[in-house]
Amino acid sequence: MKQRIKFHKHASDASIWYLNELGSQVVAKTGIPSDRHHLGKLILHSLKDTPSNVMQIDGGTGETETFQDALERSVGCANAFRKFGLKGDDVILIMAPNCIHLTTSMYAAFYLGLIVAGVDSTLGIKELQDAFEICLPKVIFCLSERERDVEEVIKKMNLDTTIVTYNKGGKCDFMEFIHKYGRETSVEDFKPADFDPEERTCLLISTSGTTGTPKCAALTHKNLMYGLPYVWMITSKFPSPVDRVLIVSPVQWLSAIFSFILSPMMKFTRIQTSLPTTSEHTYDLINKYKPEFMIISPTMAISLTKRETRNKCDFSSFKYIVVGGSAVPQTLVDDLKVITPETETFVAYGCSEIAGLAFNLVSAFPGSIGRPMPHLESRLIDPETQKDILEPNVTGELWLKGPVTFKGYYKNPQATNETYAEDGWLKTGDLLYRDENWNFFYVDRLKMLLKYRNHHISPTEVESVIIKHPGVLDVAVTGIPDDECGDLAVACVVPQHNTTVTAQEIKDLVKESLADTKQLRGGVIFMKELPLTSTSKVNRAMLKKLAKSMTRE
């Protein structure tokens, strides 16, 4: 059954109206109706509009950049791209922390209709080769410390690729790249490329997730321009919904990309850093720059809200905190409300394949992820029968359809065909249910379900019980194989600092809360930290291996 839900009564569509107006201004200049979705032209127009605004601050170095600075260097970078013969559908790859030059190269690519691929800057040689094989980049931007590794990989793959280092110390650093190749056309005379934003891919987002093989979701300019406004339904003040936004996500995350793109359009200042985003450094950034908004993963939020360290930070500057990227424990939301009671905290559900959010996070029913966005149609499908679930409180796979759904997985038609149903519905692979009022609740990833004697166990459900123990900082549940029973659930627990928690306490808590089929028959493992993927999600494949080899209580 298809459902369209109106905005929640407290949500604002001002962000949509604002970006529509911005698009109309660009179309009035160019005379091309589709330019309202052309990211490059929208960003270029916005940078010229308020040149003296501070666009970004690198909290690691103290460097600042105005819109005018970004305008001049991004145009210079685009000129250099043209000098090198780059054209539509060529890929530039960025593998660096959030330094001051990073978005300049991104904007330049958007001007010309090039594709931007963000990659984890800490990847090893083999992982880099896997990433390069997918996108075959023409230009790679990195730090000089990684130049030798990148050279080794492109030589092994026989790629004709230019390496540019954002910092000095490389064979061609970013400013040298611009000064040497980017001076042919002035800012005043520069013209972005014309192309169809509905068809032109602008981003490749890694969606390897927690268990699967690496693949990249291809998002178009139009996908993003439909998806971008919805995170800002939390306010009606535009432009400048807030003054300062803290970015703690790396370039390969869509949450970072959103702020990179929207900062010139919505005229807020980004606080980011070229240093590792440790808890201590993040505390320093918050205390010094007093940001008003951030999107943060549950893993990092748990780290920042540790009882023994959270008093080091004054979170009260935040007007809004959005938590998302994986399952969000209610205990984390409760902690944030205690730590900073005046801050509005939201739980976000989205995915790369829809260029952002699927549910309205404003005024969501407690424990839910909200109601479906108005630009999306939604269905819940029984994974076994493939039939629609029409009644409330029955779990099924979420299917979505709308203008934000992605083109497919880049150069991977098999994965694309497996993700789309024949009639164009996107299979998210996520299990949800709804209540009688159409509030949706996240259950788990379909592939993560454990099976004990023909009974399904949701790791997320068991985790949500264990995390309530005051001695537990973080937890992930996996399974170990058993010939007779199938999967035996194992809890991998990270204890709170200076607290005592026993395996029996964990088992008793689960026994008191959940059915017999969901008990921890595989035991409990205590760990210093959970293994994470490059996108800071729990590495479920690694966790399963560790559970087989480590001591279980």
* pLDDT tens digits for range 114-162: 999 999 898 889 889 989 999 999 999 999 999 999 999 999 999 999 9
Domain range for 466 is: 455-549
Per-residue model confidence as pLDDT tens digits over 173-202: 999 999 999 998 999 999 999 999 999 999
Please report whether residue 524 resides in a domain: yes
- Cα dihedral 495/497/500/503 (nearest 10): 10
SS3 534: coil
Average pLDDT over residues 520-536: 87
Whether residue 444 contacts residue 460, with contact meaning beta carbons closer than 8 Å, is answered with yes
Q: What pLDDT is stored for residue 66 in this prediction?
A: 97
Please report whether residue 20 resides in a domain: no
Please report whether residue 485 resides in a domain: yes
Please report whether residue 136 resides in a domain: no
Q: What pLDDT is stored for residue 9 in this prediction?
A: 41
Q: Which of 45, 117, 88, 108 is nearest to 195 (CA)?
A: 88
Q: Which amino acid is at 183?
A: R
Is pLDDT of 50 > 90? yes
Round the average pLDDT of the chain to a whole number and report it: 91
Rg of the chain over Cα atoms, rounded to whole angstroms, equals 23
Please report whether residue 496 resides in a domain: yes
Residue bearing the bigger pLDDT, 444 or 9 = 444
Per-residue model confidence as pLDDT tens digits over 109-125: 999 999 999 998 988 89
Q: What pLDDT is stored for residue 128 in this prediction?
A: 92
Half-sphere exposure of 238 (CA within 13 A, CB side): 22
Which stretches of 263-351 are assigned E, i.e. beta strand? 269-272, 293-296, 320-324, 344-348, 350-351
Q: Which domain CATH number covers 479?
A: 3.30.300.30
Q: What pLDDT is stored for residue 208 in this prediction?
A: 56
Burial of 193 (0-12, 13-18, 19+ CB in 10 A): middle
Distance from C-alpha of 527 to C-alpha of 221, rounded to nearest angstrom = 43
Place of tokens 């083999």: 126
Mode of pairing for the β-strands spanning 344-348 and 91-95: unpaired
Distance from C-alpha of 56 to C-alpha of 246, rounded to nearest angstrom = 10
Distance from C-alpha of 244 to C-alpha of 415, rounded to nearest angstrom = 39
pLDDT band at 1 (very low <50, low <70, confident <90, very high): very low
Percentage of the chain lying above the pLDDT 70 cut: 96
Please report whether residue 242 resides in a domain: no
Whether residue 115 contacts residue 203, with contact meaning beta carbons closer than 8 Å, is answered with yes
Please report whether residue 117 resides in a domain: no
SS3 487: strand
Please report whether residue 388 resides in a domain: no
Q: What is the pTM of this model?
A: 0.86
Distance from C-alpha of 267 to C-alpha of 82, rounded to nearest angstrom = 28
Mode of pairing for the β-strands spanning 293-296 and 320-324: parallel
Is pLDDT of 37 > 50? yes
Number of separate domains in the chain: 1
